[in-house]
Amino acid sequence: MKIFGADYYPEHWDRGFWSKHIELMKEYGIEWVRIGEFAWALVEPADGVFDFSVLDEAVKMLKENGIKVIMGTPTATPPAWLVKKYPEILPVDYSGRTRSFGSRRHYSTNSKVFKDYALRIAEMYAKHFGNTVDAWQIDNELGCHGTTFSFSEADRKAFIEWLKVKYGSLEELNRAWGTVFWSQVYSDWDEIVFPINTPTFENPHQMLDIYRFMSDSSIEFLKMQMDVIRKYSSKPVTHNFMVDFMDIDYRKMAQYVDFVSWDNYIATEKYDPLRQSANHTLMRSLKHAPFLVIEQQPGRVNWRQRNENYPASYLSLWTRQCYLNGAMGVMVFRFDQIRFGAEQFHGGLLDYAGRATKRLVEFSKCKDELGTTIIPNNEVAIYFDYEVEWMHRINQVNRDFKYWDSIVEIYRAVKKLGYNVEFVFSDDSLDDYTLLIIPYALRIPETFAEKVRSFKGPVIMTCMSGLKDEYNWIVERAPRGLIEDFGVEVIDFGAVKDLDFMALGKSLTGSYWRDEINVIDAKVIGATFDGDPIITLRNSCYSECRRYYIGTVLSEDGWVELLKEELEPRIVGEGIEVSSFGLEIEGQSFRSRNLTGLLNLKPHQNAIYVNGRKILLEPFKLLILED
C-alpha cells in the first residue's frame, strides 16, 4: 500500500507539541496526515475575516519533514457566528424539530445561505493552499447522524424544483405517485409537503423520490465544492464514505471523486470481520478500483453504547484486511489522542501524554509488511442497488428483513468457500464474472435484466426480485423481465418467521419471506414439507447457463450449501479470509502474478486446509501463497 498515515489536528495543541508529534510520525513511518476538516471557526473567526496562520505553519512543518497532507474543507462544522446570524441554515428532523448548534453537521444542504458560505470557505481554502497540499477531502461524512435528511422550508422548495425537472407536470407526478389513493391529489406544486409526523404510513412513491432527492442534494453539495477546488488545484479530491451507510447513493457519488475513501469502524454490536470485509468490497466496487481507508478505527471509539478497547494486535489485523481487499492505503483516526471535546474517549496512536502506544508500534510494522496495492480477481458478482435498499426501508411485507444484513450473509458464505466477491451495479458489465447472484432486488432495471438474460454463466436470483418498477409500484408479473429466463413466475408471497424445507438432500431453513411459485419451465430442487416449490433450477441457454430461483431468504449456512453446487470449496477451516489476485500495483506500474492471500481472523493459531494442504497460521497472520 502506498499511503500509511493518520488523521491529525494541530489546532488542538499548542505549537510546542507539533515538533514532538512530527518526530514520532517520522520515527514510526506515518507519511500522510489529513488535517483542516473541522477548522472553520479557526480559519474564519468572524464573517469574512480569514486567518490561515495555524494551518499554514502546520502544513509548512509537515511538508518540511516529508509528510504529505490531505486538506479537508471544513463545511461539516458551521461556526457559531454563522448560525446566530442565519439560524435558517439549521436542518429540521423527521419530527419537525430544528437540529441546533453544539455538535456538528448542523446544516441543510439546500439552504442557499449556507451553500454560499460553504462555497466561500471552500474557495478560500483552495485559493490559499492550491497544490501545496497533496490531496483534498470534501466536508466530512456527508449524511452522518441522519443528516442526509432535512425537512426545512428551503428543503421543501428545492424538492419541488427537483420534482418539476423529473416529472414536468403535476399530472405526471400524480400518476407516478398514485395520489388518487387516500385523496392525495395535487393541483398546485406548492401543495406538496414532506410527509413528516403523519398519523400512519406515508406515500411509498413520494418517499422514494424524497430519498432520491436527499441523496442528490448531498451529491450536488459535494460537486459544488469539488468544482471550486479544481479551479485552483490539480490534486486528487475525495470524500470519506461510511460503514454500513445507505442514505446516500454512493455509487452515484463515487463517479465525481477521484478515488473512494471510507471510514472503517465496527458498526455492529458484535465484531464481525467478514462484515468489515463486505464493506471494503462495496467501497472497492463503487469504482472497481483501489480505495483509501481514510479513517481506521484504532482500538477504542467513543460513540458506541460500550466502547471496547481492542488490543493493539487488532489494528494489525484490520490493516492487513484493508490490504487484502484492495486498499491503496490506511490512515488511523486519530494520531493524537485528545483530553477534551466530544471525542475525548476515542483512542489514537498516541496516548494522553503524547507517547507512542502499542497500536502505533503495530501499525508501523504493517507498513514494512504491506508494500504494494493488490487488485483482487473478479470471480463472484453480487448485484447491489442503493435505491433497492431505500425501497426495502420504505415499505415491506416483513419489517424484520434488512437488505444489507441479508446480503452480508451471502457475502460471508462466498468468502467461506474461498472466493472473491465484487458488487455490481445496473450499469456494470458482467463479462468478467463466473457466477452472478441477484439478491432481494425489488427493482431490476430492464437494462440489467438484458445483461442477466445474456450472461453465459450460472445466476442465482432470490425472492423479492423484479417485484417493483422505478416508481415503487408492484409490477403485474414477477420477476419482471426474467420469467422466461428462470422458468418461474411468482404468483403470491407473504412473511414467515421460519420456513423448513428440503433441498439438495438436506433439511434447510429459510426466513422472513415465502414465495408462491408457479413452475413454468424449471426443475424443482427444493420444496417445503407440504410440497410447495421453494428452489428451482433451469438450464437456460447452454449447460453452464443455469438459473436458480430461491423463494425465501436463506441463512449463511443455507447459502454455503447451495453455492457448493457451483463453487468447489477452496479452503477448509473457520476464521479465515481468502483473496486471490493477479495484479499488484508498484508505483505507476502493474506486476502480474498469481497469488492467494490467507488472513487469520482469529487472535490465536488457526489450522486450515487449502487444496488439501494443511497450513498453520499465527494469530492475525497474513500469508501470501504463489501458485
Residue 416 confidence class, pLDDT cut points 50, 70, 90: very high
| All CATH 3.40.50.880 domain ranges in the chain, comma separated | 380-563
Domain 31-255 sits in which CATH superfamily? Glycosidases (3.20.20.80)
- Tell which residue, 494, 523, 529, has the closest CA to residue 511: 494
The answer on pLDDT for 543 being more than 60 is: no
Before 236, cis peptide (omega within 30)? no
Interatomic CA distance for residues 3 and 328, integer angstroms: 6
As a whole-number percent, the residues of the chain with pLDDT over 90 amount to 94
pLDDT (average), residues 595-610 = 96
DSSP character at residue 540:
-
All CATH 3.20.20.80 domain ranges of the chain, comma separated, are 31-255
Average pLDDT, the chain: 96
Please give the average per-residue pLDDT across 199-205, as a whole number.
Answer: 97
Closest to 510 measured CA to CA, from 460, 443, 566, 559: 559
Split at pLDDT 50, 70, 90, the class of 612 is confident
Report the C-alpha gap between 433 and 94 in whole angstroms: 42
CATH topology of domain 380-563: Rossmann fold (3.40.50)
Q: What is the pLDDT of residues 76-129, one digit of tens each?
A: 999 999 999 999 999 999 999 999 999 999 999 999 999 999 999 999 999 999
Give the containing element (helix H, strand E) for 25.
Answer: helix 15-27
Q: How far is CA 483 from CA 79, 406, 487, in A?
A: 56, 23, 6
Work out the average pLDDT over 290-315: 96
Range with lowest mean pLDDT among 14-23, 131-140, 240-249, 536-545: 536-545
Provide, rounded to the nearest whole percent, the portion of the chain with pLDDT above 70: 98
Residue 578 reports pLDDT greater than 60: yes
Q: Which residues on neighbouring strands pair with residue 516, listed in sequence order?
A: 492
> How far is residue 309's CA from residue 377's CA, in Å, rounded to a whole number?
35
Cite the active site residues: 141, 295
Q: For the segment 123-168, what is each residue's pLDDT rounded down to a tens digit?
A: 999 999 999 999 999 999 999 999 999 999 999 999 999 999 999 9
